[in-house]
């Protein structure tokens, strides 16, 4: 593993911010067990993060001094640490994405496209729900809660699914993904708590958060899949063998990391849902010890 870990908890939150500084120089082109399919499945996810996490940070920042929560000291500490963790994730994923350029993978192009998709979708969605008294701030924050549920669920799959772990063969890349996965679960409730504190648990906020999840998942699936196909095509590796690998390890009923997310994803639709309903404390303790973080 090529990283210097620097852990700090200046905010005094329930979880720290870790500065990682990964060195991606030695990462091979197809770092996931020599498979272009699996590698680019992860590359396509990585391309979503810089602009996706910017949305998460901006949406929480936009409301953090709302009268309902501005004096809530405990929540303010969590928000600070949440912003710190997401900023570190963006920093490292952007670093990896840029490093892939040495193999001719122009991930920056996909980062820019992600930004356009996000900006287009959030403005369109806000226009649609404006007649129901919902604001852009509410839309952005609920998009964040939906996407945070997605990242936390994907993260717990990465930490639990032995099949996908066997494919994460490069030590630097697997460490980066596991570190990110641990932190997604550490801060999974922050945006959700902010949303509920400000907008409550009424019918309107319930309807909005569910609609946001459905739309966000459809958008992620289409965007990430199109990135995977184009990355493989650019490498001349768009073939049945690589697509078969992706199917087996992402979408097959027995091993798939995405299909493995189904139950936890659906839990979001329960009226009394809270991100901490799924207890990952023991799982995180095990992984933090293993990673030395
Ligand atoms: Fe993140
Ligand atoms: Fe997150």
What is the model's pLDDT at position 2? 59
**C-alpha 3 to ligand 1 mean position (Å):** 17
> Measured between alpha carbons, how far is 259 from 108 in angstroms, rounded to an integer?
28
Distance CA 185, CA 288 (A): 12
Q: How far is the CA of 236 from the centre of ligand 2 (A)?
A: 33
Which residues have CB less than 5 Å away from ligand 1 (the ion)?
86, 89
Q: Does the structure show a pLDDT above 90 at 79?
A: yes
Residue 1 binned pLDDT confidence (cut-offs 50, 70, 90): low
Question: How far does residue 206's CA lie from ligand 2's centre (Å)?
Answer: 21
Between CA 30 and CA 103 the distance in angstroms is 10
Q: What are the CA-CA distances from residue 246 to residues 42, 164, 174, 179 (Å)?
A: 10, 10, 17, 23
Note the pLDDT of residue 129. Answer: 94
How confident is residue 10, by pLDDT bands cut at 50, 70 and 90? confident
Q: What is the pLDDT of residues 152-172, one digit of tens each?
A: 999 999 999 999 999 999 999
| Ligand nearest to C-alpha 152 | 2
Closest CA to 265 of 211, 205, 217: 217
- Tell me the percentage of the chain whose pLDDT exceeds 90: 95
CA 53–ligand 1 middle distance (angstroms): 6
Q: pLDDT for 217-237, tens place per residue?
A: 999 999 999 999 999 999 999
Least confident of 5-9, 213-217, 266-270, 289-293: 5-9
pLDDT tens digits, 97-146: 999 999 999 999 999 999 999 999 999 999 999 999 999 999 999 999 99
Q: How far is CA 269 from the centre of its chain?
A: 19
Residue 239 above 70 pLDDT?
yes
Predicted confidence band of residue 8 (pLDDT cuts 50, 70, 90): confident
The Cα–Cα gap between 184 and 179 comes to 9
| pLDDT tens per residue, range 17-50 | 999 999 999 999 999 999 999 999 999 999 999 9
| pLDDT of 3 over the 90 cut | no
Decide if pLDDT at 4 tops 80.
Answer: no
d(CA 88, CA 19): 6
pTM of the predicted model as reported, rounded to 2 decimal places: 0.96
Instruction: Determine contact, residues 48/114, Cβ cutoff 8 Å.
Output: yes
Q: How far is the CA of 191 from the centre of ligand 2 (A)?
A: 9
Identify the nearest ligand to the CA of 49 by its number.
1
pLDDT at position 67:
97
Ligand nearest to the CA of 187: 2
Tell me how far the alpha carbon of residue 224 lies from the centroid of ligand 1, in angstroms: 16
Q: Give dist(CA 203, CA 200) in Å, integer.
A: 9
């Amino acid at each position: 593993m090529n990283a210097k870990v620097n852990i700090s908890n200046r905010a005094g939150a329930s979880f720290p911010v870790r500065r990682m500084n990964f060195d991606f120089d030695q990462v091979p082109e197809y770092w996931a067990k020599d498979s272009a399919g699996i590698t680019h499945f992860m590359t396509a996810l990585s391309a979503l993060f810089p602009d996706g996490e910017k949305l998460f940070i901006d949406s929480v920042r936009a409301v953090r001094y709302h009268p309902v929560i501005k004096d809530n000291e405990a929540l303010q500490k969590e928000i600070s640490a949440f912003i710190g963790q997401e900023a570190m994730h963006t920093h490292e994923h952007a670093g990896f994405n840029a490093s892939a350029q040495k193999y001719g993978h122009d991930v920056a192009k996909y980062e820019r496209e992600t930004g356009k998709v996000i900006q287009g979708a959030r403005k369109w969605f806000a226009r649609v729900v404006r007649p129901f008294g919902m604001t852009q701030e509410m839309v952005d924050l609920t998009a964040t809660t939906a996407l945070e549920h997605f990242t936390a669920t994907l993260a717990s799959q990465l930490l639990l699914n032995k099949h996908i772990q066997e494919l994460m063969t490069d030590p630097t890349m697997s460490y980066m993904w596991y570190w990110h996965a641990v932190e997604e679960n550490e801060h999974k409730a922050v945006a959700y708590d902010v949303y509920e504190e400000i907008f409550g648990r009424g019918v309107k906020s319930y309807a909005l958060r569910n609609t946001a999840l459905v739309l966000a998942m459809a958008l992620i699936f289409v965007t990430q899949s199109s990135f995977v196909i184009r990355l493989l095509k650019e490498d001349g590796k768009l073939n049945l063998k690589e697509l078969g690998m992706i199917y087996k390890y992402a979408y097959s009923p027995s091993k798939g990391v995405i299909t493995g997310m189904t139950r936890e994803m659906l839990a979001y639709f329960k009226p009394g849902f809270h991100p901490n309903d799924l207890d990952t404390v023991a799982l995180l303790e095990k992984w933090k010890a293993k990673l030395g973080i």
